[in-house]
Amino acid sequence: MDGEVKIGDFGLVTRDDDDDDEDFALMERTRHRGTSTYMAPEQITGKTYDRKVDIFALGLIYFELLWKLSTGHERGVVWSDARSQKLPEEFSLTFAKENEIITLMLSEKPEERPEASTLKAELEKLAQTHNLDHERATV
């Protein structure tokens, strides 16, 4: 491990300035392609969707990065629950603020999911809190 973040799969990507066009933002940008386990409910049901599907998928990825799943069976159960905003109790105790953020990201209704800019601000604030906690612990 060299301490650098590496992206293994960009999946289905669009330019960030695409969302400025309301008509484009609401069109079916990827025509129901992608990894089904990361798809938002509106993608799975075939409804028209917007950029909020990315927030849903990112919520699952964020959870996956923080929480180790030991077996395939556990993964299936926990993953299904996570998609319904039911994260493990131990996760919510260990990662209280992250649990709050991820739960919003996994909202069934797209309009209840945060905008990317709001999410970015929340994550930056959380990172600063973690940095302060780390500095206090090492003094």
pLDDT digits 0-9 by tens, 60-82: 999 999 998 877 887 888 989 99
- Region 91-115: what's the mean pLDDT? 96
Amino acid at 133: D
Q: Can you tell me the distance from the alpha carbon of 79 to that of 72, in angstroms, rounded to the nearest whole number? A: 10
pLDDT at 135 over 80: no
pLDDT at position 94 is 95
pLDDT band for position 92 (50/70/90)? very high
Least confident stretch, 24-33, 35-44, 109-118: 24-33
> 69 φ, ψ to 5°?
-105, 120
pLDDT at 23 over 90: no
Alpha helices in the chain (DSSP H): 22-26, 41-44, 52-66, 72-83, 89-94, 96-105, 116-138
pLDDT at 18 over 60: no
Q: Can you tell me the distance from the alpha carbon of 67 to that of 114, in angstroms, rounded to the nearest whole number? A: 22
- Region 108-112: what's the mean pLDDT? 96
Ordered by where they begin, the domains of the chain are 16-113 (1.10.510.10)
Q: Encoding tokens for residue 64?
A: 């996956």
